[in-house]
Amino acid sequence: MPHLTSTKPGTAHTDLRPGLGVPGLAHPLLAAAEWAELARPGTPVHWVALDVADGPGSRPDPHCLAAAVRLRNAGVRVLGRLDSTYGARSFGEVISEAHRYLDWYQVDGFLLDRCPTERTALPEIRRTATALRALRDGARLVLGHGTHPYPGYAEQADQLITFSGPWSDYRWSQVAEWTADYPADRFCHLVHGVPRGHLEEALRIARWQGAATIWFTDRTDRGGNTDPWATMPGYWDDIVSRIGTGVSE
């Protein structure tokens, strides 16, 4: 059996309706139907990451702008994906890309992906987070760690991605004790390779571990050669109906 209990008794968030965090579909020209589906009224989406060309690209892309506008008109937050490369990229590079996302696509905030997790990198991420928030009033900031980081990162963003990986790891995963001090809307789990028959189990794990935002898909990375996030899960209608439309932020 997978680990389904939170580290501290009484901290499980079993009554929450999760919403979807979309880590990055393929370009709108390649996945037009998928982008349109995310804007369908009643779809429980918390945010969608826009990744034009491993960042904002070198020039405005009208197809990406149209997709972003459609989502915003539907009330969905659009986040520009910025690659921290685990802290290796310079502050100037990241902020320059953030400016382009705002100028070209009017994004609602940012996903700082491949974010470092260690305590020593926290001051630089704090500096970056402060600068990103200053670029736009009410900017939403998600840190894409993919695992549980040093607890201090929780104070730097609206949400942390504390799991990103395959179902084979997720079903045995355990939640870090310190996360019990925060509400479930502060955490997101991204899981690929979830079989249809285990979808309810995956949703139960997210509830018990206190993650209100999820993206579960049956797509796999096929040994790192395929992006499992590029297309919708094969059970898209099923997961939307299970989550429901009553998502509160």
In whole angstroms, what is the distance from residue 194 CA to residue 220 CA? Answer: 9
102-154, pLDDT tens digit by residue?
999 999 999 999 999 999 999 999 999 999 999 999 999 999 999 999 999 99
Domain definitions of the chain by residue range = 21-119+137-181+236-244
Which residue carries 């987070």 as its tokens?
129
Output the pTM of the full model. Answer: 0.91
pLDDT tens readout for residues 176-225: 999 999 999 999 999 999 999 999 999 999 999 999 999 999 999 876 66
Q: Could you give the count of Cα atoms lying within 13 Å of 147 in the half-sphere of its Cβ?
A: 9
Helix, strand or coil, per DSSP, at residue 2: coil
Task: Check if the beta carbon of residue 76 is closer than 8 Å to that of residue 37.
Answer: no
